[in-house]
Amino acid sequence: MRPCIGVMSCSCDFRGEPGVYLPSRYVSGISEQLDADIVLIPPIPTAARAGSVLAKLDGIILTGSPSNIEPARYGASAGAGPFDPSRDHVALDLILEAKARRLPVLGICRGLQEINVALGGTLQDGLGAEDRMLRHHAPAGTDGPGQFSWSHSLDVAPDGLLHRELGTGMVEINSIHYQGVATLGDGLRIEALAPDGVVEAVAAVDHPIFAVQWHPEMSVESRVSKAVFSIFGRMLG
């Protein structure tokens, strides 16, 4: 049977009323690469209780988002929005419950940050600032396709999950994030770094959890994207 994967969605405004949002690229790309059935997880705490949701799924994917995680979630007093507190609530609960159940988790962009925060890590802001030598987000005013074509190189750490797929050396990834890891969460190891030392991929030491800071769903046929989905596919069994 095809695995059933829950995919985290975001809060949005839909014609003046609260809505739920997920770009279709996640659904089509994930379903194609993993030969899986997809169920959307709404960012509504009363409609997505972690225990009962995960009992029905074979794994979860935490997607990217235009929003950032609220700073209070990782002990900071201030941070750059926009925020999605309902998604924070649902996603962090899902991560901890999935870890307890040893259910596979794949994090993409914001998903990596959620995993890091759920496991006790902290975040930094401003990774797209103009004065950085390496900007992790395209300049303000860049259109959608242009944002996802913004890229930089990636240094794969030795002896990790990503290394087993890609080998040694530098590879190129898209980059579209303002937040990133400051201190690493408990039980996580670094799988890849940007040239400026920003964490670009992590994995849990003792659990089937893997996350990347870039967007593999934007170019599912690329070697790097196939490596990401292959890692998660093996976690699903």
Q: How far apart are CA 42 and CA 98, in angstroms?
A: 16
pLDDT at 55: 97
Catalytic residue numbers, as ranges: 109, 215, 217
pLDDT at 175: 87
Q: How far apart are CA 138 and CA 149, in angstroms?
A: 8
pLDDT at 42: 97
| Residue pLDDT, tens place only, 182-232 | 999 999 999 999 999 999 999 999 999 999 999 999 888 899 999 999 999
pLDDT at 44: 96
Could you tell me the pTM of the whole model? 0.95
Residue 74: name the closest of 149, 22, 125 by CA: 125
Domain count, the chain: 1
What CATH number does residue 137 fall under? 3.40.50.880
| Residue pLDDT, tens place only, 46-86 | 999 999 999 999 999 999 999 999 999 999 988 888 999 99
Count other Cβ atoms within 10 Å, centred on residue 28: 13
- Domain hosting residue 51, numbered range: 4-236
Residue 139 has pLDDT above 80, yes or no: no
